[in-house]
Amino acid sequence: MAAFGLTMKMSPVIQRRLERAIIDSQPRGKLLNCSRMKRLPTAVANHPSTLPAINQRRLMRDLNAIGRIGIGDRGAVTRLVFSVKELRSRQVLIHLMRQAGLKINIDAIGNIFGRLEGSDAKAPAVLAGSHLDTVIHGGKYDGPVGVIGALEAIRTIGENKIAIRAPLEVVCFVGEESSRFGFSTLGSSLVAGEVRAKDLANAVDAQGTKLADVLSSLGIAAKQLRGLTRDPKTLKAYFELHIEQGPILEAIGKRIGLVTSIAAPSRFRITFTGQADHSGTTPMEMRKDALVAAAQLIEFIEKTCRKFSAMAKGRVVGTVGALKIEPGVINAVPGKAELLVDIRSITAQSKTRVARLVIQEAQSIARRRAIGVEVRTIREEEPVPLDKRLLRVTKAICDKKQIVYQIMPSGAGHDAMQMAKIAPAAMIFIPSQRGISHNPLEWTAPDDIGLGTQLLMEAMIYVANE
């Protein structure tokens, strides 16, 4: 535990429960069944043990430079996708990639790829990265650790002239966060060919600005986006280094998490339409209060997800993260209430079940109260398993370097869940202090960021030379 910025004391009972929860969440059985994989640890044993160390000072310098863009009160970072601040962070990245001598390619949506050639220019690339956009009032590590970490890994390989066969690429994906348009992993979804035109057309921000209009104001035509899909034959692997954004690694005193699968969200915009009325003259029994209907639904979501909270049963979590009321004044009965609902699970079945219950309940509340309800799906995704073979590679490197790791699922969404559809994908987690993320207090010890980056670099070298 000494490696963490903040040491956490935990009762043995809670620690055992946490460990049990992690074990319960593991996909059963299959991990060790592949005969090709059984040879991996030996192969990794031959992987050079004298690889150079990444430059942690330079890594933290660049992470801090990105972290200052969009910083506000109490260190909160806000770089919503396509805001001036977010565009600025991408410019800084381009500058850093240029300094590192990488070949830069920017696609139509603005995903940035920086490439270092290997000895075989035709070989499929080993790609690593994440995102630079943030939530509103977020922290400085969710996303940038994966982008700057990958850049640092490739810079170290380049300047030390380490022999690599396959090309290496660092990527910054546009718009991983759903905070502005309710639409997550925009850039990586386009690269993976996973975007439905209908979902894009429905995307609108809290100010009522359509994503399609923002794109056209940036000179990005919808038809250009169809050509962004990357040919899977050009990719050997995708790696993403990320902060855990949860409390488990810190609680069990491990510095590295190796990710098995990523929980996926089902997201809905649910709008109750009642009637705005005078708050002083309208008798209680004659009201059509949309907000009270919304409140009932919010409570239903919490109760239902609590019933599905056991990991072993495919834990489901549900959140109403945003609520808009009209007219939204103290002296009027709310006539309209719009809720943004996010339901996630590692298990598709449980997620679908909960989502169905929530929609049925919204309709039943509206019927009981004789008001209107509209349910719009923002996006529905399937939980994504990551590549077992790459997991074995990172695991074997950890074993060789005597790094203690935890095999675990990810509750948060990541670009890796899209990239896994077109390439073998792996994620490396590093601890989040007190599990806090999407919050200005988000913090990870520099030594852990350095360790994760070193592991990322060694895994990239191994896979590039396989």
Give residues in contact with ligand GLV (CB under 6 A): 177-178, 184, 412-413
Shortest Cβ 413–ligand GLV spacing (Å): 3
Nearer to ligand GLV, 165 or 434 (CB): 434
Whole-number minimum distance, CB 131 to Mn ion, in Å? 6
| Amino acid at the residue 83 | S
Partner touching 335 among Mn ion, ligand GLV, none, CB below 5 to 8 Å by kind: none
Q: How far, in Å, CA of 69 to CA of 83, rounded?
A: 11
Residue with tokens 């060789």: 400
The residue (of 183 and 308) whose beta carbon lies closer to ligand GLV is 183
Q: Give least dist CB 97 to ligand GLV, A.
A: 24
Reference 123, options 225, 24, 235, 214; nearest CA is 235
**Shortest spacing between CB 81 and Mn ion, in angstroms:** 12
| Smallest distance from Mn ion to CB 415, Å | 8
The interface region with Mn ion, picked from 7-15, 65-73, 136-144, 259-267 by CB under 5 A, is 136-144
Are 359 and 337 within 8 A, CB to CB?
no
Residue 458 CA to residue 206 CA, distance in Å, equals 42
| Peptide bond connecting 385 to the previous residue in cis, omega within 30 degrees of 0 | no
* Nearest to ligand GLV of 62, 176 (CB atom): 176
Q: How far is the CB of 41 from Mn ion (least distance, A)?
A: 30
- Decide which of Mn ion, ligand GLV, none touches 143; Cβ closer than 5 to 8 Å per partner kind: Mn ion
Radius of gyration over alpha carbons of the chain, in Å?
Answer: 23
Residue 199 contacts which entry, Mn ion, ligand GLV, none (Cβ below 5-8 A, type-dependent): none
- DSSP letters, 226-253, are GGGPPPGGGEEEEEEEEE--SSHHHHHT
Does residue 318 contact residue 302 with C-beta atoms inside 8 Å? yes
Q: Where are the alpha helices (DSSP H) in 68-221?
A: 84-99, 144-159, 186-191, 197-202, 211-217
- From ligand GLV, Mn ion, none, interface partner of 413 (C-beta below 5 to 8 A by class): ligand GLV
CA distance 115 to 104: 6
Nearer to ligand GLV, 291 or 412 (CB): 412
Which of 129, 143, 385, 450 is the binder for Mn ion (CB under 5 A)?
A: 143
Which regions of 308-404 does DSSP assign to beta strands (E)?
Answer: 316-326, 332-333, 336-345, 372-380, 384-385
142 lines the binding site for Mn ion (CB under 5 A): yes
Taking the complex as a whole, the smallest distance from the CB of residue 89 to ligand GLV amounts, in Å, to 16
The residue among 271 and 437 lying less far from ligand GLV, judged by its C-beta, is 437
Binding segment toward Mn ion, per CB under 5 A, in 52-60, 78-86, 141-149, 311-319: 141-149
Strand boundaries in 9-111, DSSP class E:
103-106
Rounded to the nearest whole angstrom, what is the least distance from the CB of residue 185 to ligand GLV in the complex?
Answer: 8
Number of residues that bind Mn ion (CB under 5 A): 2
* Window 338-357: residues binding Mn ion (CB under 5 A): none
Q: Which is nearer to Mn ion, 78 or 271 (by Cβ)?
A: 78
Of 182 and 450, the one with the shorter C-beta distance to ligand GLV is 182
The size of the chain, in residues, is 466
Token duo for residue 21: 């929860």
**Residue 418 beta carbon to Mn ion: minimum distance, rounded to whole angstroms:** 13
**Contacted entry of ligand GLV, Mn ion, none for residue 274, CB cut-off 5 to 8 Å set by kind:** none
Mention every residue, 6+ apart, whose C-beta is less than 8 A from residue 263: 317, 344, 345, 346, 383, 409, 410, 411, 412, 413
- The site for Mn ion (CB under 5 A) is made up of 142-143
